[in-house]
Structure 1
Amino acid sequence: MDLSVKTKELRAFLQDHLLVGDGAMATQLYRMGVPVGVSFEELCLSSPRLVHDVHQAYYDAGARLLETNTFGANRDALSRYGLEHKVTRINRAAVAIAREAAKDDAFVVGSIGSILAGRVRQKVLDEFRDQFEEQAIALLHAGVDGLILETFLDVEELLLAIEIIRPLTDLPLICQLATLEVGRTRDGFTLTEAFSQLQEAGADIIGLNCRLGPAEILRSYEQSQVPEGAILSAFPNAGRLGLADGEYAYKSSPEYFAKSALRLREQGIRLIGGCCGTTPEHVREIAQALQGLEPLPRVNPTGSAQERHTQSSYHVHERQKPSIVERVKTGTTIIVEFDPPKDLDTEGFIHGCCELHHAGADAITLADNSLANVRMSNMALGAIMKGQYGMDPLIHIACRDRNLIGQQSHLMGLHALGIDQVLVVTGDPSRFGDLPGASSVFDVTSFDLIRMVKQLNEGISFSGRPLKQKAQFIVGAAFNPNVRQIDAAIKRLEKKVEAGADFIMTQPVYDAESIRLVYESTKHINIPVFIGIMPLTSQRNAEFLHNEVPGIKLSEEALERMRKVQGEAARQEGIKMAKELLDVAIPVFNGIYLITPFNYYAMSVELIHYARQKSSLLQASVQA
């Protein structure tokens, strides 16, 4: 292997040479005593000699492509340390440090990492444009030989970075994806699709880095079609991160990395280095294994086995009866909420569900530990309702209680049970519930979770892995009209619709004016809206809802009417008021959402009968 690499430009050099890249920067800095929790990139200013020593160690080990210590030197990442005003200074200093270690016979490429950095997408990606441009300009002005865009989990974000950076320079762009599973990106692209799009967008060198070790990156290349003439790179992790002797560590040895480098070469890969967990010892073994060898041509597999399997194996379970979204198009559709029990006795709950079902509820919806109070699993109860009694459950899914692993597992379980109607909600904070010491997870917002549930409908997991089947979830979103600024609430609702919501369920309203306001505010939204109505049961109930429960507001008239009655008379007054609201709602809303208070299912049964009668009369008058 020719070590006088700087006799050629990077792209030209890789046409007929193998090139050894460096290894992990953070791993080495940690080994040298830098604690976790600081900005490794800021060390370019405060401890430049330390960063130089890492570069020097990789150079001495045989690396002839050094990456600047700027992976997280963007405004978003640096802001976590109060360093967002030092983007340009850090990037320029990093290039100078790497250049000193590279001498005259190693390439220096500016590292630009994903801004999402493994997090679930919560922002519009266009917001990253200025950040990519700011960092790229700083690196280019400092004199790099190229840029390496690395550890991008989503093709969409990497394409955005290329779109911004490509017009700024003719220098080589190395563009590397990171995948959570072999062969597919987090946002659902096969590597065959992704590599093609990256090359068309202007990437000079395409490849994979991070997340996976050598074996899985090798498998990824073995299963993928690569564009003709593409220059390929691979920077694997040192295996999977695991707990050993009480400490987290990467398992792959330097000797294993050397054997893996030879296998990667057989796949036509020309630029080989290391990512998380790799050290100068790993790079030394790579350099020695590749010493004196020439690159091999890329030979694509004759069709990706994984892609053939993926394309041929998807199928969708068909619903046995129309969903609530289909029903609401043809007439009044009624959803009734009935809370799961707080104890282990299910007899009363099932009896109430049966009564609601026989009364004509199109679906019975079960909250997910509402108000952060522990209740029986709505998934288990939904399975009983559907499997034993033929009812159609609509399951609430809160962002509060499960991390992403638990959320996807939960949804996969619902799919297996044939429960495909869900309502995604944020969830009330745990500290306000009956176990105030419990933690609130909130890995994602309701917007993110709606988007991710719809991804399951494409047969793609949260991590981008094909699921062999496509889910068929009908996804609802919550809307609270009881706010001071209805315009802001509507904009939030529109974002949920954009994320993929199929229908809307509102918080309960308690006066005719609120119903009309919801109608006027949402009539431009082209998905069904189910207007929430919950009968009051007493004066105390009314005052509690009005003064203490977030998202609920009663009119002064409703409060006054409940002050005048007690006991059974109060419940009857609550039913009467709810019927008056149904009189206003049914002419403008096909979707009615009845919320059962305190498990008084008899109240909801009476309101179902009334809504059906009112709807029939209205339909008859229209036909006449």
Structure 2
Amino acid sequence: MKPGLREALRSQVLVGDGAMGTYLYQMGFPIGISYEELNLLKPDVIMDVHRRYYEAGARLIETNTFSANREKLSKFGLEGEVEAINRAGVELARRAVGEDAYVVGAVGSIRAGKRKNVRTNKVREDLREQISILCDTKVDGLLLESFLDLDEMLIALKEVRRISDLPVICQFATEGAGVTQDGVPLKEAFAKLLEAGADVVGLNCRSGPNGLLRSLEGAAAAEADHPPYSVFPNAGLADYVDGRYSFPATPQYFGETARRFADLGTRIIGGCCGTTPEHIAAVAGALAGYVPNPEAAKRAAAAPAAEVAERAAAGAGAEVPTEPSIVDLVRQRHTVIVELDPPKDLDIGKFMEGTEALKKAGVDALTMADNSLAVTRMSNLALGSIVKERTGIRPLIHIACRDRNLIGTQSHMMGLHALGIDHVLAVTGDPARFGDLPGSSSVYDLTSFEIIRMIKQLNEGIAFSGKPLKKQANFIIGAAFNPNVKYLDKAVQRLERKVEAGADYIMTQPVYNAELIEQVYEATKHLSVPIFIGIMPLASGNNAEYLHNEVPGIQLSDDVRKRMSGLRGEEGRAMGVQIGRELLDAAMRRFNGIYLMTPFLAYEMTVQLTEYVWEKAGRRHLSPLPK
């Protein structure tokens, strides 16, 4: 009779199995189907894959249940088959292999690193359902694999420990950076998992043997006594040629790295994407007769310690800003940010005229939207760089979640850092289908909460992927707030979440009611970050009605609409400025931060309001940026 899984790991290295999904793909099953459903539709095929890995030497077999949770299965209309698919997955693995093999229930991440796609309660519910089913079968343990974030991994592990004492293996997906995707060093993440009840911690997917070896070396170098590790590397990086995916790492190469993993204290070694029974046979051959040696593991871990320290040092040290930030200024005095929209065409003449006029008026920062209302405009990154270089005004760039995926967003932020533009406003962005190119896609890889948190991660010198960036960014991150809502308290609760995510300051949608300004003050005075009250002067009666009736997030008072009714041209702009001054009177009593929005590039209006702020504050103006 074989010993229990925990006991086995004390005295031997277990060979794990290889890929299921990519191996089924190689067998002719297309991408885009539920491979887990094959537990019901093609049981003989799934058993055959398990059997091939067992015959290759694998003695730890994963069930074909990686994505067999309600959320993932619902994409295929299979949410009603969660229990049947999971139970069948365990039964097929058991029937396919010998009594000397350990069968572990595979549980994959639901969020896959994207916090926005499923709320936490739903993640917990769906993980609980799958885990409860697997724990009610004849598995020898559970394998929580391909988790990118510590938070979700802990949710899953705690659900296991709530109902079962089964051995649990916890594996992060990483690319050799030594941290999880949410920026937690692996040493710290492993420690938290062990404290929460994990038996084995390790890595799989996203990288080949070299990347996982470097990550494991970094974690092991920081520990005097290692926990048992597990690794399931990919067969290198995927290539896409002639409509087919392939992986370059050979079985021979896999076998050569197996002993290096074992010497680090790894007790389970298998394969992930791109691996085949041939890869696993090479691992089994390399480990034949291997006896774990704790002293060898310590020596192997100590060897890369200097390299790990060097890599950590390379990511340390932020560039310290030489000028006071907007947050620093607004805590000392009234501070004015003016929005000037980038042009919809290729002529920046009027935009630059407005910039120069606002500079003379003494604005503290010029902010530029990111294709607001989903209407295509010139890149605010390019204009921000021009403004900074030609005028010295601090650019404050809006970053919308709508237009860029995770790759594009990080690339965009890295470009801003290189240009020395460090003030940004994180916004969701209006849906593309309502803009001037309705056929364009809205990406929304991130929510406004997530983009704040991810930019803050860049300030720690950690990329969105978790890799070190050699330097730290120094972004000052703003968040948007719409007080023009029926239930202000609920809007403030949402705002509190943005502050918790890392927002350094708040900019509101335009407010047209002095009473609402007072209400905003009372509702937000407990917050630790400064608020810039948004005021946008109205240009005409038609402009007022359009904003009130057609633009989301903007609401005018009846009094303002009545005063603007029928006005146009110079008369309308004059009344708009007058109403703006009255709103400034109310705002400046309660807030140091003033956010003026320029309508239709009519910068003369925001110039007048900026000058009014300085007049009311008792000075003409301050130079926006000390040279």
Q: TM-score, normalised by structure 2?
A: 0.92
Counterpart CA distance in 2 for 1:527 and 1:313 is 28
2:625 corresponds to 1:613? no
The aligned counterpart of 2:605 is 603
Counterpart CA distance in 1 for 2:22 and 2:320 is 50
Counterpart CA distance in 2 for 1:507 and 1:232 is 51
The aligned counterpart of 1:286 is 283
The aligned counterpart of 1:325 is 327
Counterpart CA distance in 1 for 2:331 and 2:546 is 36
Give the match's secondary structure for 2:453. helix
2:71 corresponds to 1:76? yes
Residue type of the partner of 1:69?
N
The aligned counterpart of 1:44 is 39
Contact 1:180–1:186, Cα closer than 8 Å, also in 2: no
Match of 1:566 among 565, 568, 579: 568
Contact 1:223–1:304, Cα closer than 8 Å, also in 2: no
Match of 1:25 among 20, 25, 30: 20
TM-superposed deviation, 1:232:
2.0
Give the match's secondary structure for 2:207. coil
Contact 1:175–1:207, Cα closer than 8 Å, also in 2: yes
Counterpart CA distance in 1 for 2:88 and 2:615 is 76
User: Once structures 1 and 2 are overlaid, which stretch shifts more, 192-201 or 358-367?
Assistant: 192-201
Counterpart CA distance in 2 for 1:229 and 1:401 is 44
TM-superposed deviation, 1:107:
0.9
Give the match's secondary structure for 2:590. coil
Residue type of the partner of 1:580?
E
2:188 corresponds to 1:193? yes
Give matches, 1:170-569, under 5 Å.
Answer: 170-225=165-220, 226=223, 228-297=225-294, 298-299=297-298, 300-302=301-303, 303-311=305-313, 313-569=315-571
Contact 2:398–2:426, Cα closer than 8 Å, also in 1: yes
Residue type of the partner of 1:365?
T
TM-superposed deviation, 1:399:
0.8
User: Once structures 1 and 2 are overlaid, which stretch shifts more, 116-125 or 190-199?
Assistant: 116-125
Contact 1:95–1:110, Cα closer than 8 Å, also in 2: yes
Give the match's secondary structure for 1:134. helix
Contact 2:116–2:447, Cα closer than 8 Å, also in 1: no
The aligned counterpart of 2:622 is none
Deviations 1:442-467 (A, max 9, x none): 11111110111111112211111112
Residue type of the partner of 1:142?
T
Match of 1:119 among 99, 108, 114: 114
Contact 1:257–1:285, Cα closer than 8 Å, also in 2: yes
Counterpart CA distance in 2 for 1:229 and 1:29 is 35
Counterpart CA distance in 2 for 1:95 and 1:555 is 64
Closer, same or farther: CA 133–433 of 1 in aligned 2, 3 Å:
closer
Contact 2:175–2:207, Cα closer than 8 Å, also in 1: yes
Closer, same or farther: CA 126–455 of 1 in aligned 2, 3 Å:
farther
Counterpart CA distance in 2 for 1:245 and 1:142 is 42
Give the match's secondary structure for 2:424. strand
TM-superposed deviation, 1:146:
1.2
Residue type of the partner of 2:312?
T
The aligned counterpart of 2:624 is none
Residue type of the partner of 1:170?
D
Counterpart CA distance in 1 for 2:419 and 2:260 is 44
Contact 1:190–1:307, Cα closer than 8 Å, also in 2: no
Counterpart CA distance in 1 for 2:124 and 2:375 is 43
TM-superposed deviation, 1:270:
2.8
Deviations 1:148-206 (A, max 9, x none): 11111112322332233235333322121111343222121233333333333322222
2:146 corresponds to 1:157? no
TM-superposed deviation, 1:276:
0.9
Counterpart CA distance in 2 for 1:293 and 1:502 is 54
Contact 1:224–1:301, Cα closer than 8 Å, also in 2: no
Q: TM-score, normalised by structure 1?
A: 0.93
Counterpart CA distance in 2 for 1:304 and 1:275 is 29
Counterpart CA distance in 1 for 2:317 and 2:473 is 9
TM-superposed deviation, 1:322:
1.7
Closer, same or farther: CA 235–444 of 1 in aligned 2, 3 Å:
same
Give the match's secondary structure for 2:219. coil
Please list every run of at least 4 consecutive aligned residues from structure 1 whose deviation after the TM superposition is greater than 6 angstroms.
none
Counterpart CA distance in 2 for 1:163 and 1:206 is 15
TM-superposed deviation, 1:312:
6.1
Counterpart CA distance in 2 for 1:234 and 1:377 is 44
User: Once structures 1 and 2 are overlaid, which stretch shifts more, 109-118 or 162-171?
Assistant: 162-171
TM-superposed deviation, 1:41:
1.9
Give the match's secondary structure for 2:555. coil
The aligned counterpart of 2:88 is 93
The aligned counterpart of 2:623 is none
Give the match's secondary structure for 1:7. coil
Closer, same or farther: CA 564–347 of 1 in aligned 2, 3 Å:
closer
TM-superposed deviation, 1:268:
3.3
TM-superposed deviation, 1:235:
0.8
TM-superposed deviation, 1:89:
2.9
Counterpart CA distance in 2 for 1:63 and 1:309 is 35
Counterpart CA distance in 2 for 1:158 and 1:307 is 27
Contact 2:334–2:593, Cα closer than 8 Å, also in 1: yes
Contact 1:505–1:593, Cα closer than 8 Å, also in 2: yes
Contact 2:50–2:96, Cα closer than 8 Å, also in 1: yes
Counterpart CA distance in 2 for 1:407 and 1:561 is 43
Residue type of the partner of 2:254?
F
Counterpart CA distance in 2 for 1:182 and 1:565 is 61
Q: CA RMSD in A?
A: 2.1
Residue type of the partner of 1:309?
R
Counterpart CA distance in 1 for 2:370 and 2:360 is 24
The aligned counterpart of 1:3 is none
Residue type of the partner of 1:395?
I
Contact 1:532–1:593, Cα closer than 8 Å, also in 2: yes
Give the match's secondary structure for 2:100. coil
Structure 2: state its 5+ residue gaps.
620-627
Residue type of the partner of 2:249?
S
Number of aligned residue pairs: give it.
612
Residue type of the partner of 2:341?
D
Counterpart CA distance in 1 for 2:339 and 2:250 is 57
Counterpart CA distance in 1 for 2:443 and 2:124 is 30
Contact 2:17–2:54, Cα closer than 8 Å, also in 1: yes
Structure 1: state its 5+ residue gaps.
1-5, 618-624
Counterpart CA distance in 2 for 1:123 and 1:322 is 39
Deviations 1:572-607 (A, max 9, x none): 111111111112221112111111111111111111
Contact 2:231–2:268, Cα closer than 8 Å, also in 1: yes
Counterpart CA distance in 1 for 2:113 and 2:315 is 29
Counterpart CA distance in 2 for 1:111 and 1:283 is 18
Closer, same or farther: CA 224–420 of 1 in aligned 2, 3 Å:
same
Closer, same or farther: CA 391–438 of 1 in aligned 2, 3 Å:
same
Closer, same or farther: CA 259–312 of 1 in aligned 2, 3 Å:
closer
Counterpart CA distance in 1 for 2:454 and 2:177 is 20
Contact 2:12–2:291, Cα closer than 8 Å, also in 1: yes
Contact 2:226–2:265, Cα closer than 8 Å, also in 1: no
TM-superposed deviation, 1:404:
0.9
Contact 1:113–1:149, Cα closer than 8 Å, also in 2: yes
The aligned counterpart of 1:56 is 51
Deviations 1:523-554 (A, max 9, x none): 33332111111111112212222222222222
